[in-house]
């Protein structure tokens, strides 16, 4: 990469600044817009500028990596960005009603997004938390600050979204693997089979969380299909229902935290794709309640042999005070 950056400095070495500096180029159009406004707008310059500036901006973005942790607003620090932003909104043009207001967003769509699409197709690993957080963070920034991904989508936006969906789909279909072992191999928590199965399961859970970051960027139906129909119900639920996971409560909590909040806003009904997940949690609650009943029976034995101090100690540690008084465990005459 260092060699590429070094060689890239010679690309415009024989070009005058008026033809390779975005600020200088836009200064000429600014003069045209100010002096001959009608002919400027009749020439549809706002539609031409993104294509005209594309090679120069791509050159400045050569070292920009949307997968890096600090990449979220880094493209805004380049000289081309401040020049285009000033051209669209600066120098007293805020009150003017001209189509150049959309030039910045259009320029980003035609220069930044194609570069991001290439990273999605060739470099991005959806399993990586850091890469997924950085890439989706840039997209949310573009959506909130520049209205990209909103309304009618341009060809570059559609291409980027299709690339993300295809990469996520391939990751679920080809990279997710949770093996099925006989229960006897999983009873020993230290066995290689159990450790490998748990590792693959938690990798799938991490991917689920990474997918949830694309909420409000990808179509909701597609995201639900990938996260719920494919990843959760096809892979993760098999491990959860096997009852061989060391901490199913923690796993269920992590899975639930991966789901976008927007899916549940204004709705009191469980999503159809989450029925299996809900049933598992309900069964797990019943199992815990049954265990609590077993604990009560043990405490009754302690009450019968007058071990009240042990009962109080256990009740304080595990918060069973209500159960003790409900069952009158401190009154052996009622037993």
User: Could you give the count of Cα atoms lying within 13 Å of 112 in the half-sphere of its Cβ?
Assistant: 24
Chain Cα centroid distance, residue 306:
57
- Per-residue model confidence (pLDDT) at position 144: 94
Least trusted range by pLDDT, from 5-14, 30-39, 61-70, 223-232: 5-14
Task: Report the share of the chain in percent with pLDDT over 90.
Answer: 51
Nearest to 135 by CA among 158, 154, 160: 160
Give per-residue pLDDT as tens, 251-285: 989 999 999 999 988 766 788 899 899 898 888 87
pTM, two decimal places: 0.84
- b/e sequence 307-316, b meaning 16+ C-beta within 10 Å: eeeebeebbe
| pLDDT of 4 above 90 | no
CA dihedral over 152, 156, 159, 165, signed as positive or negative: negative
Percent over 70 (pLDDT), the chain: 88
Which of the pair, 268 or 58, is modelled with greater confidence?
58
- Classify burial at 129, counting beta carbons within 10 Å of its beta carbon; exposed 0-12, middle 13-18, buried 19 or more: middle
Q: Using only C-alpha atoms, what is the Rg of the chain?
A: 30
Q: Indicate the SS3 state at residue 148.
A: coil
- Residues counted in the chain: 335
Instruction: Specify the higher pLDDT residue, 157 or 14.
Output: 157
Contact present, 150 and 143 (Cβ < 8 Å): yes
Place of tokens 């600090």: 70
Exposure of 194 in the CB half-sphere (CA atoms within 13 A)? 14
Q: In degrees, to the nearest 5, what angle opens at C-alpha 195 toward C-alphas 193 and 200?
A: 95
Lowest-confidence segment of 83-87, 133-137, 225-229, 265-269 by average pLDDT:
265-269
- φ and ψ of 237, to 5 deg: -65, -30
Cα dihedral sign for 19, 25, 31, 37? Answer: positive
In this prediction, residues 282-301 reach a mean pLDDT of 75
- Of the pLDDT bands very low, low, confident and very high (cuts 50, 70, 90), residue 173 is very high
């Amino acid at each position: 990469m260092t060699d590429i950056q070094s060689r890239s400095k010679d690309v415009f070495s024989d070009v005058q600044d008026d033809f390779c500096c975005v600020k200088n180029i836009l200064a000429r159009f600014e003069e045209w817009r100010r002096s001959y406004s009608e002919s400027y707008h009749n020439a549809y310059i706002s539609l031409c500028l993104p294509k005209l500036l594309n090679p120069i901006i791509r050159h400045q973005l050569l070292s920009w990596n949307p997968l890096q942790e600090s990449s979220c607003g880094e493209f805004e620090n380049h000289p081309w960005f401040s020049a285009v932003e000033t051209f669209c909104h600066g120098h007293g043009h805020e009150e003017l009603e001209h189509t150049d207001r959309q030039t910045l967003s259009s320029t980003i769509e035609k220069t930044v997004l194609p570069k991001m699409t290439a990273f999605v197709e060739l470099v991005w690993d959806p399993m990586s938390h850091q890469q997924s957080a950085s890439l989706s963070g840039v997209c949310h920034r573009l959506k909130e600050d520049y209205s990209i991904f909103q309304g009618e989508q341009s060809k570059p936006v559609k291409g980027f979204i299709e690339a993300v969906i295809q990469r996520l789909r391939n990751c679920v279909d080809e990279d997710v693997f949770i093996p099925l072992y006989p229960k006897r191999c999983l009873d020993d928590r230290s066995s290689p089979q159990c450790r490998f199965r748990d590792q693959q399961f938690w990798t799938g859970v991490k991917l689920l969380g990474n997918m949830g970051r694309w909420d409000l960027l990808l179509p909701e139906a597609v995201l639900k299909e990938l996260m719920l129909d494919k990843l959760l119900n096809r892979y993760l639920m098999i491990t959860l229902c096997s009852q061989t996971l060391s901490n199913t409560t923690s796993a269920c909590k992590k899975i639930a935290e991966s789901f976008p909040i927007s899916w549940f806003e204004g709705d009191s009904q469980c999503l159809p794709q989450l029925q299996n997940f809900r049933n598992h949690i309900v069964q797990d609650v019943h199992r815990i309640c049954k265990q609590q009943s077993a604990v009560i029976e043990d405490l009754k034995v302690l009450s019968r042999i007058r071990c009240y101090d042990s009962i109080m100690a256990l009740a304080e540690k595990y918060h069973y005070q209500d159960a003790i008084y409900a069952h009158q465990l401190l009154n052996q005459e009622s037993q």
